[in-house]
Amino acid sequence: MLDSGRLDGPEQMALDAGLLDRARATGEAVLRVYGWSRPTLSFGRHEVARARFACAAIERANIGVVRRPTGGRVLLHDREVTYSVTAPAPDGESVGPSYRRINALLLDALACLGVRAAATPAGRARRTPGAGLVSCFAEPSAGELVVDGRKLVGSAQLRERGALLQHGSILVDDDQGRIVEFAAGPLAPAPPAATLRAVLGRAPSYAEVREALVAALAAREGEAATLDAAEADHFAAPHRARYGSAGWTWRR
Protein backbone atom coordinates (compact mmCIF):
# COMPACT_ATOMS: atom_id res chain seq x y z
CA MET A 1 0.00 0.00 0.00
CA LEU A 2 1.27 3.47 -0.89
CA ASP A 3 -0.33 6.88 -0.46
CA SER A 4 1.51 9.30 -2.76
CA GLY A 5 -0.64 12.34 -2.00
CA ARG A 6 -1.05 15.22 -4.43
CA LEU A 7 1.67 15.49 -7.07
CA ASP A 8 1.78 16.75 -10.66
CA GLY A 9 0.73 14.63 -13.61
CA PRO A 10 4.18 13.58 -14.89
CA GLU A 11 5.25 12.49 -11.41
CA GLN A 12 2.09 10.46 -10.84
CA MET A 13 2.38 8.70 -14.20
CA ALA A 14 6.10 8.03 -13.63
CA LEU A 15 5.21 6.42 -10.30
CA ASP A 16 2.59 4.19 -11.91
CA ALA A 17 5.04 3.15 -14.63
CA GLY A 18 7.76 2.57 -12.06
CA LEU A 19 5.55 0.41 -9.88
CA LEU A 20 4.72 -1.65 -12.96
CA ASP A 21 8.47 -2.31 -13.26
CA ARG A 22 8.59 -3.15 -9.56
CA ALA A 23 5.78 -5.70 -9.89
CA ARG A 24 7.72 -7.35 -12.68
CA ALA A 25 10.95 -7.37 -10.66
CA THR A 26 9.59 -8.43 -7.26
CA GLY A 27 6.39 -10.37 -7.98
CA GLU A 28 4.58 -8.13 -5.47
CA ALA A 29 1.33 -6.22 -5.88
CA VAL A 30 0.82 -2.62 -4.69
CA LEU A 31 -2.36 -0.60 -4.21
CA ARG A 32 -1.51 3.10 -4.56
CA VAL A 33 -3.79 6.05 -3.76
CA TYR A 34 -3.08 9.55 -5.02
CA GLY A 35 -4.40 12.96 -6.02
CA TRP A 36 -3.37 15.87 -8.25
CA SER A 37 -1.54 19.05 -7.29
CA ARG A 38 -3.54 21.01 -9.88
CA PRO A 39 -6.28 20.17 -12.39
CA THR A 40 -4.71 18.01 -15.11
CA LEU A 41 -5.83 16.70 -18.47
CA SER A 42 -4.60 13.19 -19.21
CA PHE A 43 -4.69 11.60 -22.65
CA GLY A 44 -4.86 7.87 -23.29
CA ARG A 45 -1.68 6.24 -24.54
CA HIS A 46 -2.90 6.01 -28.16
CA GLU A 47 -5.36 8.92 -28.19
CA VAL A 48 -5.03 11.60 -30.87
CA ALA A 49 -4.60 14.89 -28.99
CA ARG A 50 -2.24 17.23 -30.85
CA ALA A 51 -4.77 18.55 -33.37
CA ARG A 52 -7.75 18.35 -31.05
CA PHE A 53 -6.73 20.40 -28.04
CA ALA A 54 -5.66 24.03 -27.80
CA CYS A 55 -2.38 24.32 -25.88
CA ALA A 56 -2.87 28.06 -25.35
CA ALA A 57 -6.27 27.54 -23.70
CA ILE A 58 -4.82 24.83 -21.46
CA GLU A 59 -1.93 27.08 -20.40
CA ARG A 60 -4.17 30.10 -19.77
CA ALA A 61 -6.30 28.05 -17.40
CA ASN A 62 -3.21 26.72 -15.55
CA ILE A 63 -4.21 23.15 -16.38
CA GLY A 64 -1.57 20.44 -16.33
CA VAL A 65 -1.35 17.94 -19.17
CA VAL A 66 0.09 14.43 -19.32
CA ARG A 67 -0.23 11.23 -21.35
CA ARG A 68 -1.09 8.06 -19.47
CA PRO A 69 0.71 4.73 -19.89
CA THR A 70 -2.73 3.12 -20.31
CA GLY A 71 -5.25 3.57 -23.10
CA GLY A 72 -8.68 5.17 -23.15
CA ARG A 73 -9.98 8.68 -23.61
CA VAL A 74 -9.27 12.10 -22.19
CA LEU A 75 -9.91 12.85 -18.52
CA LEU A 76 -9.76 15.97 -16.40
CA HIS A 77 -8.33 15.02 -13.01
CA ASP A 78 -9.25 17.39 -10.20
CA ARG A 79 -11.85 16.64 -7.55
CA GLU A 80 -11.31 12.90 -7.41
CA VAL A 81 -9.36 10.18 -5.65
CA THR A 82 -7.16 8.17 -8.00
CA TYR A 83 -6.09 4.59 -7.41
CA SER A 84 -3.62 2.29 -9.10
CA VAL A 85 -2.92 -1.40 -8.76
CA THR A 86 0.31 -2.93 -10.03
CA ALA A 87 0.81 -6.69 -9.89
CA PRO A 88 2.48 -9.60 -11.63
CA ALA A 89 0.44 -10.91 -14.58
CA PRO A 90 1.43 -14.21 -16.18
CA ASP A 91 1.81 -14.11 -19.95
CA GLY A 92 -1.28 -15.47 -21.64
CA GLU A 93 -3.61 -14.57 -18.77
CA SER A 94 -6.65 -12.61 -19.97
CA VAL A 95 -7.57 -9.16 -18.69
CA GLY A 96 -10.96 -10.27 -17.35
CA PRO A 97 -10.05 -12.04 -14.09
CA SER A 98 -7.71 -9.30 -12.84
CA TYR A 99 -10.15 -6.56 -13.86
CA ARG A 100 -12.98 -8.27 -11.99
CA ARG A 101 -10.80 -8.83 -8.91
CA ILE A 102 -9.84 -5.15 -8.76
CA ASN A 103 -13.46 -4.16 -9.38
CA ALA A 104 -14.52 -6.29 -6.43
CA LEU A 105 -12.06 -4.39 -4.23
CA LEU A 106 -13.38 -1.05 -5.50
CA LEU A 107 -17.00 -2.11 -4.96
CA ASP A 108 -16.19 -3.12 -1.38
CA ALA A 109 -14.51 0.25 -0.76
CA LEU A 110 -17.48 2.12 -2.20
CA ALA A 111 -19.83 0.07 -0.03
CA CYS A 112 -17.75 1.11 3.01
CA LEU A 113 -18.55 4.70 2.05
CA GLY A 114 -22.24 3.91 1.66
CA VAL A 115 -22.25 3.81 -2.16
CA ARG A 116 -24.02 0.98 -3.96
CA ALA A 117 -22.33 0.73 -7.35
CA ALA A 118 -22.37 -2.03 -9.96
CA ALA A 119 -20.25 -3.19 -12.88
CA THR A 120 -21.57 -2.41 -16.35
CA PRO A 121 -22.56 -5.68 -18.06
CA ALA A 122 -20.75 -6.97 -21.13
CA GLY A 123 -22.11 -6.07 -24.55
CA ARG A 124 -21.30 -2.38 -24.77
CA ALA A 125 -19.17 -1.35 -27.72
CA ARG A 126 -16.20 0.81 -26.77
CA ARG A 127 -15.69 3.92 -28.86
CA THR A 128 -12.42 4.52 -30.65
CA PRO A 129 -10.19 6.60 -28.33
CA GLY A 130 -10.78 10.27 -29.14
CA ALA A 131 -13.84 9.61 -31.33
CA GLY A 132 -15.90 12.79 -31.11
CA LEU A 133 -13.39 13.96 -28.49
CA VAL A 134 -15.64 12.60 -25.75
CA SER A 135 -14.45 12.24 -22.18
CA CYS A 136 -13.67 8.88 -20.63
CA PHE A 137 -16.73 9.47 -18.43
CA ALA A 138 -19.11 10.12 -21.33
CA GLU A 139 -20.30 6.51 -21.34
CA PRO A 140 -19.41 3.38 -19.38
CA SER A 141 -17.75 0.43 -21.06
CA ALA A 142 -18.26 -3.18 -20.02
CA GLY A 143 -17.01 -3.80 -16.50
CA GLU A 144 -16.77 -0.15 -15.45
CA LEU A 145 -18.44 0.89 -12.20
CA VAL A 146 -21.66 2.85 -12.39
CA VAL A 147 -24.45 4.21 -10.21
CA ASP A 148 -27.87 4.33 -11.91
CA GLY A 149 -26.18 3.81 -15.27
CA ARG A 150 -23.74 6.70 -14.93
CA LYS A 151 -20.02 6.05 -14.60
CA LEU A 152 -18.53 6.71 -11.17
CA VAL A 153 -15.11 5.08 -11.62
CA GLY A 154 -13.17 5.25 -14.88
CA SER A 155 -10.46 2.58 -15.12
CA ALA A 156 -7.93 1.35 -17.65
CA GLN A 157 -5.51 -1.57 -17.57
CA LEU A 158 -2.14 -2.15 -19.23
CA ARG A 159 -0.49 -5.57 -19.31
CA GLU A 160 3.13 -5.63 -20.36
CA ARG A 161 5.94 -8.16 -20.04
CA GLY A 162 4.51 -10.15 -17.15
CA ALA A 163 2.97 -7.34 -15.10
CA LEU A 164 -0.16 -5.23 -15.05
CA LEU A 165 -1.07 -1.67 -14.18
CA GLN A 166 -4.68 -0.70 -13.62
CA HIS A 167 -5.47 2.82 -12.55
CA GLY A 168 -8.58 4.91 -12.42
CA SER A 169 -10.47 7.92 -11.14
CA ILE A 170 -13.12 7.82 -8.42
CA LEU A 171 -15.07 11.05 -8.89
CA VAL A 172 -15.90 13.13 -5.84
CA ASP A 173 -17.28 15.88 -8.10
CA ASP A 174 -17.78 16.00 -11.87
CA ASP A 175 -15.18 18.18 -13.62
CA GLN A 176 -15.41 16.42 -16.99
CA GLY A 177 -17.67 19.09 -18.48
CA ARG A 178 -14.69 21.49 -18.46
CA ILE A 179 -12.92 19.47 -21.16
CA VAL A 180 -14.84 21.39 -23.84
CA GLU A 181 -12.99 24.56 -22.76
CA PHE A 182 -9.72 23.13 -24.07
CA ALA A 183 -10.86 21.65 -27.38
CA ALA A 184 -9.45 23.13 -30.59
CA GLY A 185 -12.86 22.77 -32.29
CA PRO A 186 -16.54 22.41 -31.43
CA LEU A 187 -17.32 19.72 -28.91
CA ALA A 188 -20.58 18.63 -27.34
CA PRO A 189 -20.29 18.41 -23.52
CA ALA A 190 -20.21 14.96 -22.02
CA PRO A 191 -23.35 13.89 -20.13
CA PRO A 192 -23.02 14.19 -16.34
CA ALA A 193 -21.07 11.49 -14.55
CA ALA A 194 -21.99 9.97 -11.21
CA THR A 195 -20.12 11.42 -8.22
CA LEU A 196 -19.64 10.56 -4.57
CA ARG A 197 -21.12 13.94 -3.61
CA ALA A 198 -24.30 13.29 -5.60
CA VAL A 199 -24.74 9.77 -4.23
CA LEU A 200 -23.91 10.55 -0.59
CA GLY A 201 -25.20 14.11 -0.38
CA ARG A 202 -21.74 15.24 0.75
CA ALA A 203 -18.17 15.14 -0.50
CA PRO A 204 -16.07 12.57 1.38
CA SER A 205 -12.49 13.60 2.03
CA TYR A 206 -9.46 12.13 0.30
CA ALA A 207 -8.51 10.44 3.60
CA GLU A 208 -11.98 8.91 3.94
CA VAL A 209 -11.85 7.37 0.47
CA ARG A 210 -8.28 6.16 1.04
CA GLU A 211 -9.25 4.49 4.30
CA ALA A 212 -12.19 2.77 2.61
CA LEU A 213 -9.80 1.35 0.00
CA VAL A 214 -7.36 0.23 2.71
CA ALA A 215 -10.16 -1.45 4.68
CA ALA A 216 -11.45 -3.23 1.59
CA LEU A 217 -7.94 -4.46 0.76
CA ALA A 218 -7.39 -5.72 4.32
CA ALA A 219 -10.71 -7.58 4.29
CA ARG A 220 -9.87 -9.34 1.02
CA GLU A 221 -6.10 -9.81 1.19
CA GLY A 222 -5.10 -9.21 4.82
CA GLU A 223 -3.25 -6.23 6.25
CA ALA A 224 -0.98 -4.69 3.61
CA ALA A 225 2.50 -3.41 4.39
CA THR A 226 3.25 0.20 3.52
CA LEU A 227 5.67 0.56 0.63
CA ASP A 228 8.59 2.85 1.35
CA ALA A 229 8.25 6.03 -0.70
CA ALA A 230 11.99 6.03 -1.45
CA GLU A 231 11.68 2.61 -3.07
CA ALA A 232 8.79 3.81 -5.21
CA ASP A 233 10.83 6.89 -6.14
CA HIS A 234 13.72 4.66 -7.23
CA PHE A 235 11.51 2.77 -9.67
CA ALA A 236 9.84 5.97 -10.93
CA ALA A 237 13.15 7.72 -11.72
CA PRO A 238 13.75 6.17 -15.18
CA HIS A 239 10.26 7.24 -16.32
CA ARG A 240 10.27 10.91 -15.30
CA ALA A 241 11.84 12.21 -18.49
CA ARG A 242 9.21 10.51 -20.66
CA TYR A 243 6.16 11.67 -18.74
CA GLY A 244 7.54 15.18 -18.34
CA SER A 245 8.27 15.43 -22.07
CA ALA A 246 6.03 17.47 -24.39
CA GLY A 247 7.21 15.17 -27.15
CA TRP A 248 5.60 12.19 -25.41
CA THR A 249 2.50 14.07 -24.27
CA TRP A 250 1.78 15.53 -27.73
CA ARG A 251 3.18 12.69 -29.81
CA ARG A 252 -0.16 12.09 -31.51
Among 93, 100, 194, 185, smallest CA distance to 148 is for 194
Burial class (CB in 10 A: 0-12, 13-18, 19+), 62: exposed
Distance CA 161, CA 151 (A): 30
Contacts of 139 (CB under 8 A, 6+ apart): 124, 127, 151, 191
112 is catalytic: no
> Residue type at 20?
L
Greatest alpha-carbon pair distance for the chain in Å reads 50
Catalytic residue, candidates 109, 117, 136, 217? 136
- The residues assigned a catalytic role are 136
